[in-house]
Amino acid sequence: MNRRAKTWALAVCSFLMSAAAWADEAPVAEQAAIRAMAGCFEVRFRFTETFVTDPSYPIRSEDHASGGTEWVDVDGDAPGTISLQHVLVQGDSGLKHWRQDWQWEPTSQYDFKGDALWVSRDLTTAESVGAWVQKVTQVDDSPRYQCTAAWVMRGPRPYWECQAWSPLPRREFTQRSDYNVLDRRNRHWITAAGWLHEQDNRKLIVNAEGIREVAQEKGMDSYTRVADERCAPARAWWAAHREAWRAVQGVWAHVYGHHPRLQMRPRVEGHLLWERLFELTDTYVAAGLADWAALAEQAYAVIGSHVVHESSYTSP
């Protein structure tokens, strides 16, 4: 183990040993647990279909396994709020991946309802007090799922667990259409080696006839910390693209503020939303343009074309 790894291991051990003592100082300790998910990681994703409820559902005969090297950047950090941007290492470059935005004691969250529809819901005091909402967004910063729960700081490994509906994951929606909602239980464990994202998922068909489970799935995403130097391409890529994507995120903030019911068109004129936004931001960065207001205006037009109820969509 090199000196950097030893230093990190000692810091994590100290963090884990004192977690119980920190619990009284929440949300400082909890925000530190979220921050511990940042850094450079070797990532392994594995999913196994464990049980079939509907005999007509064709169970996957092999596990889904993939992986790579990923930089998780602290893209915002203030008391009670913290953002983590995931960026995959792609050779000598980077690729924007999913994003986590955490907020302490939220008053509302978006719930996925199926059919590319998210609906804002006011949270009760019991749901909000002492809890964090995790807002997970797609690679293009469009909504994926949100869920509110308290961190558990007692015991040897701090963890956060919550259950929410989401659209099909990327590993599934290009290959199958025999279910339309993933009812996911997420658990984030902070460990001495990095962190684990454990999932227990139910695959559902949600339509006018009701809700029907077709299968269940177990997932384990392991994030093993490695030297930051291994993520240098992703870090450099994100540094160059960060401001362009902040302009896009500003447009999304406006969309959320004006759409308590947000329904999205996956494709417009044959193009996916992420394809259009990636092309737009890459064009600005490659040309050395820094007119983020102009980029936001173009992103507004792109995103607006994917919003179903355009009549209620007002200009920022």
Q: Write the pLDDT tens digit of every residue in 196-246.
A: 999 999 999 999 999 999 999 999 999 999 999 999 999 999 999 999 999
pLDDT tens-digit readout, 38-67: 999 999 999 999 999 998 888 877 889 999
What pLDDT does 197 receive? 98
Q: Tell me phi and psi for residue 131, to 5 degrees.
A: -120, 165
Q: If pLDDT is split at 50, 70 and 90, which confidence band does 5 have?
A: very low
Q: Which residues, 6+ apart, have CB-to-CB distance to 217 below 8 Å?
A: 47, 48, 49, 50, 199, 200, 201, 202, 203
As a whole number, mean pLDDT of residues 281-306 equals: 97
What pLDDT does 286 receive? 97
How many angstroms from the chain centroid is the CA of residue 71? 14
- Alpha carbons within 13 A on the beta-carbon side of 93: 6
User: What is the three-class DSSP state of 165?
Assistant: strand
